[in-house]
Amino acid sequence: MSRIVYVNGEYLPEEQATVSIFDRGFLFADAVYEVTSVLGGKLLDFDGHARRLARSLSELGMTPPPEMEDLLTIHRELVARNDIVDGLIYLQVSRGSAGDRDFHFPPADTRPTVVLFTQSKPGLADSPTAKVGISVISVEDIRWGRRDIKTVQLLYPSMAKMMAEKAGADDAWLVEDGKVTEGSSNNTYIVKDGKIITRELSKDILHGITRAAVLRFAEEAQMVVEERAFTIDEAKAADEAFFTSASAFVMPVVKVDGETVGTGKPGPVAVRLREIYLEESRKTAI
């Protein structure tokens, strides 16, 4: 059975879903996206993702698509039609197609292109990787200056992942002016002397939906959080390191540029935050 995807108002088998070659997303990476996790057939942090989508569209002056009102229904419909128990829903909105290639934006009444599809990931929350932790390398952050907008300009993050793979590591942490900005597709943290340290929100990083939830849970659990940038040397000398994202939740990092962090095993703070995040998010999933 082929996957059912959503394109501009229609649910179609993936083979029949098409987008114009003049689409601004294709030609100019003029598009924004969201990835929402599904656990037990329910959506995690849906409202947070919907709010961030609205903000990304607004920051780029993109006309919100007619689907904005029905996003939850469309997500749920795709979960049901594809029998997703655990997995991800990818959503992308582009500025649409002007029927030609032109740097100028098309007229404001051009219909944005809206695409959603599911990715089935049975056992998503029971990742064996989370039990052992991952390794990262540091690479220079050469992305554009509006990383708070969730655009589909993912070429450099993709290259950073390939650099990590080539170096025998699992992921890359991006460094600008000597400080870690974020991971290739996640927000980054270290733990030192019981304190959780993570970069403060700005235009330099994506405002992670998982980050917001995890920091709230950490504070509720009386953990100390310091929002400031940190260096790769601090990460190497930390007691623990981890990252957060909607698809990986809380993921322990046990090696940075070949050096072992802490004991070399997932640390207690990361392990606990992962447990709390999964438990609380399942409770509020819709």
Instruction: Give the active site residues.
Output: 150
Residue 24 Cα distances to 33, 34, 87, 270, angstroms: 14, 17, 28, 40
Given the complex with ligand PMP, which of 235 and 246 has the nearer CB atom? 246
Q: Which of 186, 190, 197, 204 is in the footprint of ligand PMP by CB under 6 A? A: 186
Among 117, 245, 250, 273, binds ligand PMP (CB under 6 A): 245
For residue 86, the minimal CB distance to ligand PMP (Å) is: 16
Angle between helices 71-81 and 46-59 (to 10 degrees): 130
Q: How many CB atoms are closer than 10 A to CB 219?
A: 12
Burial of 200 (0-12, 13-18, 19+ CB in 10 A): exposed
Footprint on residues 22-41 left by ligand PMP (CB under 6 A): 35
Give the pair of three-digit tokens for residue 139.
């690479």
Between 114 and 174, name the residue whose CB sits nearer to ligand PMP. 174
Q: Check: CB of residue 134 under 8 Å from CB of residue 171.
A: yes
Binding-site member from 32, 136, 209, 235 for ligand PMP (CB under 6 A): 209
Segment lying near ligand PMP (by CB under 6 A), choices 74-82, 98-106, 108-116, 181-189:
181-189
Structure tokens at 175: 């460094």
Q: Can you tell me which of 246, 253, 254, 273 binds ligand PMP, judged by CB under 6 A?
A: 246
Q: Does 182 bind ligand PMP (CB under 6 A)?
A: yes
Q: How far is the CB of 100 from ligand PMP (least distance, A)?
A: 31
Rounded distance between C-alpha atoms, residue 42 and residue 49, angstroms: 14
**Binding residue for ligand PMP, selected from 118, 135, 198, 210, defined by CB under 6 A:** 210
Min dist. Cβ of residue 72 to ligand PMP (A)? 17
Question: Residue 188 interacts with ligand PMP (CB under 6 A)?
Answer: no
Residue 244 binding ligand PMP, by CB under 6 A = yes
Confirm if 152 and 32 have CB atoms less than 8 A apart.
yes
Binding mask 100-139 for ligand PMP (x = CB under 6 A): ----------------------------------------
Q: Does 198 bind ligand PMP (CB under 6 A)?
A: no
Q: Is 225 exposed, middle or buried (0-12, 13-18, 19+ CB in 10 A)?
A: middle
Please report the beta strands in 177-267, taking only residues with DSSP state E, as ranges in sequence order.
179-183, 187-192, 195-198, 224-227, 240-245, 249-256, 259-260
Per the CB < 8 A criterion, the answer to whether 270 and 240 are in contact is: yes
Chain positions contacting ligand PMP, by CB under 6 A: 35, 182, 185-187, 206, 208-211, 244-246
